[in-house]
C-alpha cells in the first residue's frame, strides 16, 4: 500500500498493492496499522455507496459539527474525477482544489480530511463510488457549495450540458454566501 502526499497538506492518495493470480486479484482497501503509520489515525464509523450515471456530479459537500467527516473514497466500478476543496480558513492552501481520477482500473483511493468540500463527476454509466467516513450522517450539519463556484474555477471534465446534478446541488450557495464552519 503506497501513501502519496498531494500538494494539499492532509489530502493523501493511497495506492493498494494488488496481488494477481490465475483467479484474479486481491488487495487490501483499508488497514488501520498502515494508515496510522502514514499519519491517518482515524476511526471510521460509516460506509457509504452511491451509483451514478455518466455525467452525474455529486457535490460540493461537507459535514461539519460534532460528526464532521473525513472521507476515504474509491471507485469499485467505472470511474470518476474526484475533487477536494480546502476550506480550512487557517490553511495555507485555503481555496485550493485537488482532483484525481479514481477508477475500478486504477484502484486508487483518496483520503480527504475534515475541512474539505468534496465532489465528483462520474465518467461512465453505473459508476459505483464507495467510501468510509469518520462521522455519522448528520443532516443538520451538512454544508454545500455550488459545483461551479468561480472562487474555485473547477474544470469539470465533461461539457456543461452533459452534467447531471440534483435540484438540491444546483441550488447550493457560493462559498462567499455561507458561514464556513471550518
Ligand atoms: C450522505 C447521506 C445521505 N443519506 C440519504 C439522505 C438523502 O436524501 C439521500 C441522498 O443523499 P445525497 O443526495 O446527499 O447524496 P450525495 O449527493 O451522493 O451526497 C454525498 O455526495 C458527496 C460526494 C459527499 O462527499 C457526501 O458524502 C455526500 O454529501 O441519502 C443518508 O441516509 N446518509 C448519508 O450519509
Give the model confidence (pLDDT) of 80-97 as tens digits. 999 999 999 999 999 999
Residue in 141, 123, 138, 48 with CA at minimum distance from that of residue 83: 123
Mutate to test the pocket of ligand 1, among 59, 134, 168 (most ligand atoms within 8 A of CB): 59
Distances in whole angstroms, Cα of residue 31 to Cα of each of 35, 37, 42, 47: 6, 10, 11, 15
- Please work out, in degrees rounded to the nearest 5, the angle formed at the alpha carbon of residue 182 by the alpha carbons of 6 and 35: 40
Domains, the chain: 43-175 (2.60.120.10)
Residue 115 region by backbone torsions, left for phi larger than 0, else alpha for psi between -120 and 50, else beta: left
pTM of the complete model: 0.97
User: Kind and range of the H or E element at 34?
Assistant: helix 32-37
Taking CA atoms only, the protein residue closest to ligand 1 atom 16 is 58
**Distance separating alpha carbons of residues 171 and 182, to the nearest angstrom:** 21
* pLDDT score at 156: 97
**Distance separating alpha carbons of residues 52 and 180, to the nearest angstrom:** 28
Q: What is the ipTM of this complex?
A: 0.98
Per-residue pLDDT averaged across 135-157, rounded? 97
Q: Name residues contacting ligand 1 (CB within 6 A).
A: 48, 50, 58-59, 61, 71, 118-120, 137, 166
Q: Which three cell numbers stand for residue 159?
A: 461539457
Å from CA of 181 to ligand 1 middle: 19
Mean pLDDT of the chain: 98
Mutate to test the pocket of ligand 1, among 113, 137, 140 (most ligand atoms within 8 A of CB): 137
* pLDDT score at 6: 98
Amino acid at each position: 500500500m503506497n501513501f502519496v502526499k498531494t500538494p494539499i497538506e492532509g489530502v493523501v492518495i493511497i495506492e493498494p498493492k494488488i496481488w494477481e493470480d490465475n483467479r484474479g486479484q486481491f488487495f487490501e482497501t483499508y488497514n488501520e496499522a498502515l494508515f496510522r503509520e502514514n499519519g491517518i489515525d482515524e476511526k471510521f464509523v460509516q460506509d457509504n455507496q452511491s451509483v451514478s450515471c455518466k455525467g452525474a456530479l455529486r457535490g460540493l459537500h461537507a459535514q461539519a459539527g460534532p460528526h464532521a467527516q473525513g472521507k476515504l473514497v474509491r471507485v469499485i466500478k467505472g470511474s470518476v474525477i474526484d475533487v477536494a476543496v480546502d476550506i480550512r480558513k487557517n490553511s495555507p492552501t485555503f481555496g485550493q482544489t485537488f482532483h484525481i481520477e479514481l477508477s475500478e482500473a486504477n484502484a486508487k483511493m483518496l483520503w480527504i480530511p475534515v475541512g474539505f468540500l468534496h465532489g465528483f463527476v462520474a465518467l461512465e454509466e453505473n459508476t459505483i463510488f464507495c467510501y468510509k467516513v469518520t462521522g455519522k450522517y448528520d443532516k443538520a450539519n451538512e454544508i454545500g457549495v455550488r459545483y461551479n463556484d468561480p472562487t474555485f474555477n473547477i474544470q469539470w471534465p465533461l461539457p456543461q450540458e452533459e452534467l447531471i446534478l440534483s435540484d438540491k446541488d444546483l441550488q447550493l450557495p457560493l462559498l462567499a454566501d455561507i458561514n464556513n464552519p471550518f
